[in-house]
Structure 1
Amino acid sequence: MTNLFSPPETSCHDVKISRQRAMLPTRRSSPSGKLIALLLALLMICTVSIFVGAKSISPSMVMDVLLANTDSTESLIIVESRFPRTVIGLLVGAALAVAGCLIQSITRNPLADPGILGVNAGASFFVLAGVVLLGNQSMPEHLWLAFFGALITSVFVYFVGTYKEARVNPLKITLAGVAIGALLAGVSSSITLMNPMAFDQMRFWDAGSLDIRDLSLASMAVLPIIFGILLALVISPALDNLSLGEEIAQGLGTHVKLVQLAALFSIALLCGSSTAIAGPIGFIGLMIPHIARRLSGPNQLWLTLYAILLGPLLIISADIVGRVIAVNEIRVSIVTAFVGAPVLIYLARQVTSFGKL
């Protein structure tokens, strides 16, 4: 059976020509036109997020609050709950979606995402360790610990997947990520059960929610997330080369190890920052790259740009659904799990049916 992950046997010159043809926009669909449509859809869903919630507030009252900021119960709900969680959704959704694109690109594994590869579990474990061992409670401390946890886990899983291999082994990376993530999640659960103080501090954060009610906390993660996204955009041409295989990428002038390390650093920034402010939220990094790829094609730059908009669109929509379908509201991580689990099963069946794993 042919290994679909192995690079094609062709010359670098032919690769350049075929890749340029594949990345040219067709007359039927314009990538920039779709991007504008997604931007309008995102603006619309952000508006809905501010106007719709567990408590029914008339549109006229919402407009009065936004324009005059009146002192009322409705003002507290809109200004201190709905607006902050919409901003958090924009940041976290974009971060997780771009991180998913990077992980699937460098591993060449369509089932890879920050949750499946244990990156979110690593960030959560380091935050918990800081709470238990160092007594950390502030957002800056959580942010740094989550970043280092995501970075260390990403590097460890990557090296396990490439150990004694000439190139990245998608199956080994997936299995290593699942195993390490399960181990860290089990250890974290044991620690929280034995430590009441840690359990009290982690029980809300660890569930994954956009309802932090404090934009000052989110502001600390803005720069790391922006830097991680910009780094992903900068290395996107090199990732296009890398998708053809490491040998061909080197022939095209790509420094493979440097690009992979830059991608890991970006993943750590994005996953660590988003996990620090909203807790672990799964399946965004798995679903969005596949949706974006259907819209944008194989070009990594367009794929990343689409993911920046699709991630917030999905996570804010999930947050709205969680607010309105239950009296006490359902956390966004639970809603994304309900949507993402069937998608994961479908993708796993597709992948195994074509012999990719």
Structure 2
Amino acid sequence: MNSTTDSKKKRLDLHFPKHFTLILVIAIILLVVSVITSLMLGARVVSYQELMDGLFYTNQDSYGANVVRKRISRTIFSLCCGVALGIAGVLMQAVTRNPLADPSILGVNTGATLFVVCGITFFNITTAGEYIWLALIGASITAVFVFGIGSMGRGGATPIKLLLAGAATSAALSSLVTAIIIPSAYAQDQFRFWQVGSVGSGNWDSIKIFIPFLIVGLFIAFLSAPALNALALGDDVATSLGIRPGILRFFAIVAGVVLCGTATALAGPIGFIGLLATHAMRFVIGPDLRFLIPMSALAGAIILTFSDVVGRLIASPGELEVGILTAFIGAPILIILAKKSKVRSL
């Protein structure tokens, strides 16, 4: 290996993030707090004793204890969705080398939505297990299409080009979704409660369906993290280090699509979690994906679970769907990040 390659390889010697242990402890504490608040708060606020009864004393049959038991599955489902979307955001950003990449921004969520709507309208599909496969197909096709469009022209896949390609694709697919469901009252009925993104429908059956896909996505993400660090230096450097960029991108995109598509199929299109979680963690621990992936998973779970709690509280005794809340928070942050981006060429 020549000296040039050696000097580039040294740039991959990413150090253990400063204060990582402290940040990890804080994240775990916030995760525990988010779980406790999710179990206790909502249309019916339960006491500490009712929380303990619901968690540890199955013989207790009080109303509060039953409320807690009902919320356990919702909370676990929320954590699963947050982990999946957080990691999907990291992978999308790593593969595209685009700090603004997020499944919702790149149109992946909308692609999954379109295929689910087609399944509901034309094939009378109603079960979560069937939603997943349609969502994965739609998310995959959209991801490939947006990346292909964003890579055209000078400079390849720049952040702004990918952002514009994703926004245009998302708008076009959203119009198709509307055109498909308008003539069908049945499709509107089925789609209405799913389209805004909510973890309220999460139950043990949803979790059982989710777990295998989550494990596959996590496995690929953690396995590819060191190689994705090399990819950040460019395809030529990655190739000189024995990495095949095309194969690496393929598997990373597969993992991102599996995670995002599954979450979208089961909870509806929940946007900006990947963007928020990844940027928050990159700010405090740096760009090393060996640490950024697990920390973004934690951050995604925390953000989504807290957002769900806030949505329940501000619209009590009803609830504001979490997808609306994350969009309300995430859209201004996206604008700020886009303004700060130095990549302006189209």
Q: TM-score surpassing 0.5?
A: yes
- CA displacement at 1:169 relative to structure 2: 3.5
Alignment of 1:257 with 2:212, yes or no, is: no
> What is the aligned partner in structure 1 of residue 8 from structure 2?
15
- CA displacement at 1:177 relative to structure 2: 1.4
Q: 1:248 aligns with which of 237, 251, 254?
A: 237
Alignment of 1:217 with 2:210, yes or no, is: no
For structure 1, the residue ranges without an aligned partner over 5 or more in a row are 1-9
Give the match's secondary structure for 1:258.
helix
Contact 1:84–1:212 at 8 Å: present in 2 too?
Answer: no
- CA displacement at 1:356 relative to structure 2: 7.2
Q: Structure 2: which amino acid aligns with 1:79?
A: R
Q: Structure 2: which amino acid aligns with 1:15?
A: K
- CA displacement at 1:213 relative to structure 2: 4.6
Runs of 4+ residues over 6 Å off in structure 1: none
Contact 2:86–2:297 at 8 Å: present in 1 too?
Answer: yes
CA distance in 1, matches of 2:228, 2:9: 14
Deviates more, 1:194-203 or 1:156-165: 156-165
- CA displacement at 1:61 relative to structure 2: 1.8
> What is the aligned partner in structure 2 of residue 3 from structure 1?
none
For structure 2, the residue ranges without an aligned partner over 5 or more in a row are none
Please list, as runs of the form range in 1=range in 2, the aligned pairs for 1:1-357 lying within 5 A after superposition.
11-20=4-13, 23-25=14-16, 29-69=18-58, 70-80=60-70, 82-163=71-152, 167-327=156-316, 328-352=318-342, 355=344
Contact 2:100–2:159 at 8 Å: present in 1 too?
Answer: no
- CA displacement at 1:166 relative to structure 2: 7.6
Give the match's secondary structure for 2:61.
coil
Give the match's secondary structure for 1:11.
helix
> What is the aligned partner in structure 2 of residue 6 from structure 1?
none
Deviations 1:222-270 (A, max 9, x none): 1111211210111111111111111121112110100111111011100
Q: Structure 2: which amino acid aligns with 1:222?
A: I
CA distance in 1, matches of 2:215, 2:202: 21
Deviations 1:164-210 (A, max 9, x none): 66853433322221111111111112222221100101111111001
Q: Structure 1: which amino acid aligns with 2:5?
A: C
Q: Structure 1: which amino acid aligns with 2:61?
A: D
CA distance in 2, matches of 1:196, 1:73: 37
Deviates more, 1:193-202 or 1:164-173: 164-173
Q: Would the alpha carbon gap of residues 231 and 320 (structure 1) be closer, same or farther in structure 2, given more than 3 Å must change?
A: same
CA distance in 2, matches of 1:318, 1:124: 22
- CA displacement at 1:83 relative to structure 2: 1.2
Q: Structure 1: which amino acid aligns with 2:161?
A: K
Deviations 1:261-317 (A, max 9, x none): 111101110011100111000111111111111122121111101111000000101
